[in-house]
């Protein structure tokens, strides 16, 4: 058994049942084989063993009272995975499917993603199995306050800086920040990102992940002689990432024809009217199926998986992990898809990724392609430290520049390690080398 296989087996043994974490580690370790060949010294200092083990895991009880006075108990998590290149940084996910394996996979991927941004941020992630859907504002606020009553001990602007993710947007970040400020008696703006503009948030943070995805895919298409003009696009999700990916793709002349939420998908052959989606999802917090009551030419289909049977040039999975499985990948290839841009984290299974690569479909991997969100969070931290505000254009320009650089780093690492055009391996290698270098320099810690 090779060194990397041994480490993978050990990860599976030591983290039983955490299947998403196993999957994320496996995908990365496969890419690192040529790196280990070139750097046998990593084995002597157990660098990979340390890389796959979080520096710290915090799990805690989150009790809260609903509007009827009933007590609920949720579970909170924060995984501080790797601080070799900077303070831990990564979002909080509130979704009933959250358990330790999900938070570990997200935290692990975050290390490489944050490294790729070129900014000084380490990797972490957190969240809870709390479901904000169907809760009143007061209930969400009470939950957030209780969550922060424990989390505040473990975070800080130079220690660990959480942000949003699924189920955590500006509303939740606001409640979390308010409680942190109350407990600490300090306006420590840099402790959370994704804040409202009135209290230290950054312009373009809301748009950053979706826009960044479209910038990365633009570079990838250009490297292969293509662009967005008149391309048909299918996007899964109708949340923060999906909405702004749709907006930027439309600005570049693509035709987005389908989007979804976890209940079902809409197909609008004339092109999605994004203002309607924003009104339904961002303002009214309604289901996507309401779209067809407003645009009667569009169709709604129950169930989300059917979205991948729609023929398209570019598929952008922006909802959740393992959204595109092998059979979806086969259908997309049969329908002549040209490129996949991963807006969500780990939205394609490892088998689906392999199938796309074997069939010469361009694949923009999540760690690189959705890094625009965390990169702009780091720009928010910079503005907080300097106590100033950059314009939307300034932040957007920096974001674009960062995404171009991430693409170039992934492209050249893939080439250097003998896998030109494989941006999955390229991103893993480029992200890893910087972290490994920092870990080497800091001794056995
Ligand atoms: P949101 O909560 O804003 O939106 C998530 C969207 O995906 C919703 O439309 C939701 O539908 C849908 N969704 C969630 N679970 C499922 C499911 N099981 N099947 C189908 N659809 C589902 O989250 P974000 O847009 O912020 O995050 C989306 C993805 O992007 C996640 O993987 C996240 O980790 C990743 N990401 C987010 C970043 C950010 O800055 N926000 C940064 C980098 C990555 P419903 O409302 O029905 O649940």
Q: How far apart are the first and last CA of the chain?
A: 27
Pairing of strands 122-128, 314-317: unpaired
Please give the Cα distance from 412 to 430 (Å, whole number).
8
Is the domain of 69 the same as that of 214? no
Is the domain of 294 the same as that of 160? no
* Spatial contact of 111 and 431, defined as CB atoms under 8 Å apart: yes
* Spatial contact of 87 and 161, defined as CB atoms under 8 Å apart: yes
* Spatial contact of 374 and 206, defined as CB atoms under 8 Å apart: no
Q: Which of 239, 287, 378 to mutate to test the pocket of ligand 1 (most atoms within 8 A of CB)?
A: 239
Last residue of a domain, one of 319, 338, 368: 368
Is the domain of 273 the same as that of 153? no
Q: Does residue 70 lie within any of the structural domains? A: yes
pLDDT digit of tens for each residue in the chain (445 aa)?
Answer: 899 999 999 999 999 999 999 999 999 999 999 999 999 999 999 999 999 999 999 999 999 999 999 999 999 999 999 999 999 999 999 999 999 999 999 999 999 999 999 999 999 999 999 999 999 999 999 999 999 999 999 999 999 999 999 999 999 999 999 999 999 999 999 999 999 999 999 999 999 999 999 999 999 999 999 999 999 999 999 999 999 999 999 999 999 999 999 999 999 999 999 999 999 999 999 999 999 999 999 999 999 999 999 999 999 999 999 999 999 999 999 999 999 999 999 999 999 999 999 999 999 999 999 999 999 999 999 999 999 999 999 999 999 999 999 999 999 999 999 999 999 999 999 999 999 999 999 999 8
Is the domain of 77 the same as that of 225? no
Q: Does residue 216 lie within any of the structural domains? A: yes
Determine the 3-state secondary structure of 9 from DSSP: helix
Report residue 45 CA to chain centroid gap: 30
Angle 253-225-414 from CA coordinates, rounded to 5° = 115
Task: Work out how many domains the chain is built from and give that number.
Answer: 2
Is the domain of 78 the same as that of 163? yes
What letters, b where the CB count within 10 A reaches 16 and e where it falls short, cover 79-117? Answer: bbbbbbbbbbbbbbbbbeebbbbbbbbbbbbbbbbbbbb
Q: Does residue 114 lie within any of the structural domains? A: yes
Q: Give pLDDT, residue 244.
A: 98
Last residue of a domain, one of 323, 350, 368: 368
**Where do the DSSP E strands lie in 102-143?**
122-128
Please give the Cα distance from 168 to 92 (Å, whole number).
7
In this structure, the residue with its CA closest to atom 42 of ligand 1 is 373
Q: Give pLDDT, residue 169.
A: 96
Is the domain of 305 the same as that of 164? no
Last residue of a domain, one of 348, 368, 388: 368
Residue with tokens 């092998």: 326
Residues with C-beta less than 6 Å from any ligand 1 atom: 164-167, 209, 237-242, 261-263, 304, 318-320, 343-345, 370, 373
Number of alpha carbons in the 13 Å side-chain half-sphere of residue 430: 27
Cα 344 to middle of ligand 1, angstroms: 7
Q: Does residue 39 lie within any of the structural domains? A: no
Q: Give pLDDT, residue 1.
A: 80
**Which residues have CB under 8 Å from 10's CB, separation 6+?**
49
Is the domain of 139 the same as that of 211? no
Q: Is 408 a catalytic residue?
A: no
Q: Give the range of the structural domain holding residue 311, as residue numbers without chain letter.
A: 206-368
Number of alpha carbons in the 13 Å side-chain half-sphere of residue 149: 12
């Amino acid at each position: 058994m090779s060194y990397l296989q041994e480490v993978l087996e050990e990860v599976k043994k030591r983290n039983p049942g955490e299947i998403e974490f196993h999957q994320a580690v496996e995908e990365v370790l496969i890419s690192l084989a040529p790196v280990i060949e070139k750097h046998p010294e990593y084995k002597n200092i157990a660098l990979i063993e340390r890389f796959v083990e979080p520096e710290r895991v915090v799990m805690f009880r989150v009790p809260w009272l609903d509007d009827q006075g009933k007590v609920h108990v949720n579970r909170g998590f924060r995984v501080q995975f790797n601080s070799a290149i900077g303070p831990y940084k990564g979002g909080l996910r509130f979704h009933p499917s959250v358990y330790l394996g999900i938070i570990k996979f997200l935290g692990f991927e975050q290390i490489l993603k944050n490294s790729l941004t070129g900014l000084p941020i380490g990797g972490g992630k957190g969240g809870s199995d709390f479901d904000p859907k169907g809760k009143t504002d007061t209930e969400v606020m009470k939950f957030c306050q209780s969550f922060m009553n424990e989390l505040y001990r473990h975070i800080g602007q130079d220690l660990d800086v959480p942000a949003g993710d699924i189920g955590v947007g500006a509303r939740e970040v606001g409640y979390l920040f308010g409680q942190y400020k109350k407990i600490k008696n300090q306006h420590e703006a840099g402790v959370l990102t994704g804040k409202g503009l009135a209290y230290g948030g950054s312009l373009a943070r809301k748009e950053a992940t979706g826009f960044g995805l479209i910038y990365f895919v633009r570079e990838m298409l250009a490297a292969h002689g293509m662009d967005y003009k008149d391309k048909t696009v299918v996007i899964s999700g109708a949340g923060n990432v999906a909405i702004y990916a749709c907006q930027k793709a439309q600005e570049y002349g693509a035709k987005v024809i389908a989007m979804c939420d976890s209940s079902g998908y809409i197909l609008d052959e004339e092109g999605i009217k994004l203002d309607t989606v924003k009104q339904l999802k961002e303002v009214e917090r309604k289901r996507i199926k309401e779209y067809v009551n407003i645009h009667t030419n569009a169709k709604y289909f129950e169930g989300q998986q059917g979205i991948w049977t729609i023929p398209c040039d570019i598929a952008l999975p922006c909802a959740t992990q393992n959204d595109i499985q092998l059979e979806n990948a086969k259908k997309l290839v049969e329908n002549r898809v040209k490129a996949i841009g991963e807006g969500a984290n780990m939205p394609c299974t490892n088998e689906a990724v392999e199938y796309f690569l074997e069939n010469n479909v361009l694949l923009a991997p999540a760690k690189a392609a959705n890094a625009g969100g965390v990169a702009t969070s780091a720009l928010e931290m910079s503005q907080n430290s300097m106590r100033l505000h950059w314009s939307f254009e300034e932040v957007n320009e920096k974001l674009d520049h960062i995404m171009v650089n991430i693409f170039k780093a992934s492209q050249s690492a893939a080439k250097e390690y003998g896998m030109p055009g494989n941006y999955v391996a390229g991103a893993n290698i480029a992200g890893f080398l910087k972290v490994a270098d920092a870990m080497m320099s800091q001794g056995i810690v």
